[in-house]
Amino acid sequence: MGFLSVLSMAHKWTAERTAPGDCVIDATAGTGVDTLALAELVGGKGIVYAFDIQQEALNRTLARIQERIASLREAEARFTDEPSVSGRNEPAVRRTSAGRARLAEVRLVLGSHADMERHVDPDLAGRIAAVMFNLGYLPGGGDPSVITEPSSTLAALDSALGLLRKGGIITCVLYPGHPGGAEEAAAVEQYAAALPQKLAQAIVYRQPQRLQSPYLVAIEKR
């Protein structure tokens, strides 16, 4: 059967600690996979902040969100056009809009996650349900020299912990296999290990037989 991938585990732990209408953060938007998943998770009444230092990453994220909105609209229009199958003359539109998935408001921020406190609405401080980090460089043709750096990553983790509500979660996917990745991963692990247990609980999800593979550090605020 195998264990869940680190990305799937990050999403599972995040989903278990969030509810529709929550506000969450994608600290490294990249291609927008995590941003979109978060937008679906917290739904139409939720808010997702997505940070990246590269405009290309935000463009890709926006395109992914727009594509999803278009496909939701298309599916809705298709259902609305279908005749009711209930046999009780129920309007089909009522059936479909009730069950329609809706996306959160996504606020794209071109800037470092180290400055996230400055960008997040002050009313939401202490009310953030989850912050996802996926470190490293923009995949799929991005510039591999633009990578997350330990100093800004640690500053961002600190800000994220401050913004989280009690019971909220930070997930951080680490890539020890690329240049600089092992040092950054070690710095994140040390940061998590040094957190007072009264403030937060930390956990590492890793395959000890494959130390070059990506792994996950998660922090739950108490």
Ligand X SMILES: C[S@@+](CC[C@H](N)C(=O)[O-])C[C@H]1O[C@@H](n2cnc3c(N)ncnc32)[C@H](O)[C@@H]1O
Residues that bind ligand X (CB under 6 A): 28, 30-34, 51-54, 57, 112-114, 134, 136-139, 146, 148, 152
| Least gap, CB of 150 to ligand X (angstroms) | 11
Residue closer to ligand X, measured from CB, 18 or 31? 31
Q: Residue number with the shortest CB distance to ligand X?
A: 30
C-beta closer to ligand X: residue 133 or 200? 133
Taking the complex as a whole, the smallest distance from the CB of residue 128 to ligand X amounts, in Å, to 16
Residue 129 · residue 17 · CB < 8 Å: yes
Q: Give the residue with the Cβ less far from ligand X, 57 or 202.
A: 57
Indicate the pairing of strand 164-174 with strand 215-221.
antiparallel
Q: How far is the CB of 111 from ligand X (least distance, A)?
A: 7
For the bound state, the minimum distance from the C-beta of residue 204 to ligand X, rounded and expressed in Å, comes to: 19
Beta-carbon count within 10 A of 68 CB: 16
Write down the least CB distance from residue 116 to ligand X, Å.
9
What are the angstrom distances between the C-alpha of 121 and each of 91, 107, 154, 175, 212? 40, 11, 21, 31, 38
Q: Which is nearer to ligand X, 14 or 31 (CB)?
A: 31
Which lies closer to ligand X via its Cβ, residue 77 or residue 186? Answer: 186
